[in-house]
Structure 1
Amino acid sequence: MATASRTLWKGAITFGLVHIPVGLHTASTEQGVDFDWLDKRSMDPVGYKRINKRTGKEIDKDDIVKGFEYEDGKYVVISPDEIEAIYPRTTQTIEIQRFIDAHEIPFVYLERPYYVAPINKGQKVYALLREVLAKTGKVGLAKVVVSTKQHLAVLVPAGEVLVLNLLRWGDEVKSLAGLDLPAAGVKGAKVTASEMKMAEQLVKDMSGKWDPDEFKDEFKHAVMKVVQKKVKAGDTETVIEPEEEAPAQGAEIIDLTELLKRSLKGGKAAKSAGTPAKKTAGAKPGASAKTGAAAKKATRKKAPGPRRKAA
């Protein structure tokens, strides 16, 4: 099982005047099978190309703009400066909006979990929030910015840890309209008493405790067995990544990584302009926590096309 060692940022949980310094950690990892495309004639990697869909010709990256389709075939072009201006401000806070009953949030809204751990002597206040949520059966509905995107999230006690689970926005969850569903209730669904009794007995017979280690990604393990067998037999190929050409002088490349770097430089400049006030666990400060770690390095590009990943 993977460990939750990676820290996304250090900030705070806030509600009312309470301020809990915390670190946000990844709680999950994707370990599906991901294949690269290779040219079978030379074992060269096959990469992305920017193709004009009408002419079929490759175009230069500097000739690409970002457009939003507001009607079929009609677009609004958004410039890099306009995109940068409206990116959510990184506040480094998990700002609780309200407390709600834990059972009020349907599973369909849950998207991605993160572990939240106390830092800077915030253990006692952290424990207080965790225990009061567990005792009252409540969860904290919050707003948080992760990777420049604002999310609705829910803060849930889970044993010793508080888990922040990002939620889908209301307009991202489809309605039930159009689904052919049976009526709710035993009578409405026309289920007989004997059928219900037998079904209850079957559920009882098949019931057990939750143990995630009992279930494996069978496709991934089968692929890895094939890989290991081929490696052991020496049935391998060497792939050499070609060096990427340097961008033309004067060409301005606007991407997410560059925007993050600019944001970090701006944060450092603002910090050097004055001395920040000292923060104390349990009291909500007037200013937000400082900006988190620098953006991670871009990973090697994967080849296009369908890729099978186990659920």
Structure 2
Amino acid sequence: MARVIWKGAISFGLVHVPVGLYPASREDDIDFDWLDKRSMDPVGYKRVNKRTGREIQKDDIVRGVKLEDGDYVLMSDEEIQAAYPQSTQTIAIEAFVTATEIPFLYLEKPYYLAPIGKAGKVYALLREAMLKAGCIGIARVVMHAKEHLAALIPSGEALLLNTLRWPNEIRPAEELSFPPEGAAANKLAPGEMKMAEALIADMTMKWRAEDYADQFRAAIMALIHKKSEAGDTERVTPLEAAADSSAPSNVVDLTELLKRSLGGRGKSGAKSRDTQDDAAPEAKPKSRRSATAKPSVKSVAKPTAAKPARRKAA
């Protein structure tokens, strides 16, 4: 079974749809672990003081934001939470738009949203209404101590959540040089355009994801198989994986909540939040929140360390 990585609810007016968030994509690269060639031991994380080269404990690490003059502002977890006291367990839909309005450049990472408990009916209602309207939802959600802009997309039986890049994360196209728009501006002859159009038409076909495969990965896997069959392998002690936990949730009074949502349009967001408890008496998981950093400062995270070794396939 797929592993749930987040639990919360889609906020649709005054209606809450309890959902679990699951990865919709996976990395399928060749997993080259780092090993000590002298002993075949895995090479893992190590928190190191960059000045002294000595290892330090997690409790001795604080978050700091570097200013332009070189000074740092230190911030505790409590200060970060207080600076942005927003719900971390809600996918708050702010608007509905047509899918073609969002450039591919903004798409980041997809996730599946599956209903929890008795939320199947309201989940289906939201999905079917969005499909009929031909639109997708634009929402905010906090995951992994960071706020994301996201697109809520109906796809077959599922609702997908595709995180989007913020506008300030997109590099301006003006930084690069491109040919001007238009055939005339590039002195393209009519005959050249016709041949290019004919070639494109000849290569145009229906999209089928299964028609494509990672040929580089296939070649490396064939080499791995060949070396394995020849007995050219080393024994490495595997690392243990972490456990997972889950919790149920429910949703109630769908018709009344929809009426109240329509009647409450245009009123303050504070009133909507005050009435959310009537929507779904769901369990409230522990919250994690994020602070918004100014563009003029650089974030200072934990010191960069070597790539951790993961379990190596036999």
TM over 0.5: yes
Partner residue, 1:309: none
Q: Secondary structure of the residue that 1:7 maps to in structure 2?
A: coil
What amino acid sits opposite 2:23 in the alignment? T
Structure 1 gaps of 5+ residues are 244-256, 269-275, 296-301, 306-311
1:66 and 1:225 map into 2 onto residues whose CA distance is 45
Partner residue, 1:246: none
2:214 and 2:176 map into 1 onto residues whose CA distance is 30
1:159-211 Cα offsets, whole Å, 9 max, x none, are 33221111111111111122111222333443332222211111111111212
The reply to whether residue 118 of structure 1 matches residue 115 of structure 2 is: yes
Question: What is the correspondence of 1:232-271 to structure 2 with a 5 Å cutoff?
Answer: 232-240=229-237
The reply to whether residue 23 of structure 1 matches residue 39 of structure 2 is: no
Q: Say if 1:89 and 1:148, in contact at 8 Å, map to a contact too.
A: no
Partner residue, 1:251: none
Structure 2 gaps of 5+ residues are 259-274, 289-304, 309-314
Partner residue, 1:290: 283
The reply to whether residue 279 of structure 1 matches residue 252 of structure 2 is: yes
Q: Say if 2:17 and 2:251, in contact at 8 Å, map to a contact too.
A: no
Instruction: Assess, with a 3 A threshold, how the Cα gap between structure 1 residues 67 and 164 changes in structure 2: closer, same or farther.
Output: same
2:46 and 2:160 map into 1 onto residues whose CA distance is 40
The reply to whether residue 216 of structure 1 matches residue 207 of structure 2 is: no
Give the deviation of 1:102 after TM superposition: 1.6
Q: Secondary structure of the residue that 1:94 maps to in structure 2?
A: strand
Give the deviation of 1:27 after TM superposition: 0.8
Partner residue, 2:184: 187
What amino acid sits opposite 1:304 in the alignment? K
2:226 and 2:84 map into 1 onto residues whose CA distance is 48
* Aligned residue among 155, 163, 166 for 2:163: 166
1:12 and 1:65 map into 2 onto residues whose CA distance is 32
1:17 and 1:54 map into 2 onto residues whose CA distance is 53
Instruction: Assess, with a 3 A threshold, how the Cα gap between structure 1 residues 217 and 88 changes in structure 2: closer, same or farther.
Output: farther
The alignment's TM-score, normalised by the length of structure 1, stands at: 0.72
Q: Secondary structure of the residue that 1:203 maps to in structure 2?
A: helix
1:224-260 Cα offsets, whole Å, 9 max, x none, are 22222233222221223799xxxxxxxxxxxxx9xxx
The alignment's TM-score, normalised by the length of structure 2, stands at: 0.71
Partner residue, 1:228: 225
Question: What is the correspondence of 1:92-131 to structure 2 with a 5 Å cutoff?
Answer: 92-131=89-128
Partner residue, 1:141: 138
What amino acid sits opposite 1:143 in the alignment? R
Instruction: Assess, with a 3 A threshold, how the Cα gap between structure 1 residues 205 and 19 changes in structure 2: closer, same or farther.
Output: same
What amino acid sits opposite 2:89 in the alignment? Q
Q: Say if 2:118 and 2:251, in contact at 8 Å, map to a contact too.
A: no
Give the deviation of 1:152 after TM superposition: 0.9
- Bigger RCO of structures 1 and 2 (CA < 8 A, at least 6 apart): 2
Q: Secondary structure of the residue that 2:41 maps to in structure 1?
A: coil
